[in-house]
Amino acid sequence: MKKSIIYFLLFLIFSNISISQNLNNKKVLVVWGGWEGHKPKLFASHVENWLISQKADYKISNGLEAYDDYDELIKYDLIIQSVTMGKISKKQEENLVKAVLNGVGIAGAHGGLVDSFRKNTNYQFMIGGQFVAHPGGMIEHKVIMLDDELTQGLSDFEIVSEQYYMHYDPNVKIIAEAKFGGEVYPWIKDVVMPVAWKKMYGKGKVFFISIGHNPDEFMIYDNGWKLLTRGFAWAAR
């Protein structure tokens, strides 16, 4: 009996280590740009402060030029992207998709990851979904945590943000979700949509969370920030 308790406690300890791992000396590329309505520069600033605390070896890129050179891109352990409604060249898309396929992680929030390049289906296939609508705009809804190592110890929470309605890949692992009300469109009442997912793309890990229309939401809703940063750490190779 005592041995069972010890093994369980060791499991909890090592589980907590796995989800709180830092990015010490990991090479991280933060790419921001696109539509200013999502305040990508502010998002990048919040992320940069966190990367400093993690002692990561990071670079900030305003624009997609960082995707021009595959040989440089493949050196990164993680790409954090915040680019909404941008335009990516064929070569840039090929380099990015190939880098993730070969082990570079990619992660992001809201439209900065899942509404980045609307005409680029190869990119969407890699990420695992595409934004469609946010019925009602900024509305209060409940984020429900599902069982996963990244959600361990995190409780459900109410948030005021855009609630994303998305097309998404059935192959993603949904780790947080939310249910739609029928106030705006009665026919979507009780539809459940992902709020956060993780997936593999070849050797690379992909993490997405849908909240964060205003990046300051992550400074207000602590469990949202914890899930986001745990996702960053998980996605890094």
164-183 tens-digit pLDDT: 999 999 999 999 999 999 88
Calpha distance 80→108 (Å, rounded) = 6
| Whether the Cβ atoms of residue 106 and residue 78 lie closer than 8 Å to each other | yes
21 has pLDDT over 80:
no
Angle between helix axes 222-235 and 40-53 (nearest 10 degrees) is 70
Calpha distance 72→88 (Å, rounded) = 17
Burial class from Cβ neighbours inside 10 Å (0-12, 13-18, 19+) for residue 145 reads buried
* Domain total in the chain: 1
Band of residue 22 on the pLDDT scale cut at 50, 70, 90: confident
CB count, 10 Å around CB of 10? 10
Q: Which two tokens stand for residue 228?
A: 């986001």
pTM, two decimal places: 0.91
* Beta pairing, strands 27-34 & 78-84: parallel
* Beta pairing, strands 157-162 & 138-145: antiparallel
Domain around 56: 2-235
18 has pLDDT over 80:
no
**What residues contact 128, with CB distance under 8 A and at least 6 apart?**
168, 169, 171, 172, 197, 199, 206, 208
Single-letter amino acid code for the residue at 26: K
Calpha distance 7→83 (Å, rounded) = 44
Calpha distance 235→105 (Å, rounded) = 5
User: Mean of the per-residue pLDDT values for the chain?
Assistant: 92
pLDDT single digits (tens) 103-121: 999 999 999 999 999 999 9
Closest CA to 151 of 16, 6, 2: 16
Q: Which two tokens stand for residue 124?
A: 């969407």
Closest CA to 64 of 38, 37, 40: 40
Region 209-223: what's the mean pLDDT?
97
List the CATH number of the domain containing 193.
Answer: 3.40.50.880
pLDDT of amino acid 192: 98
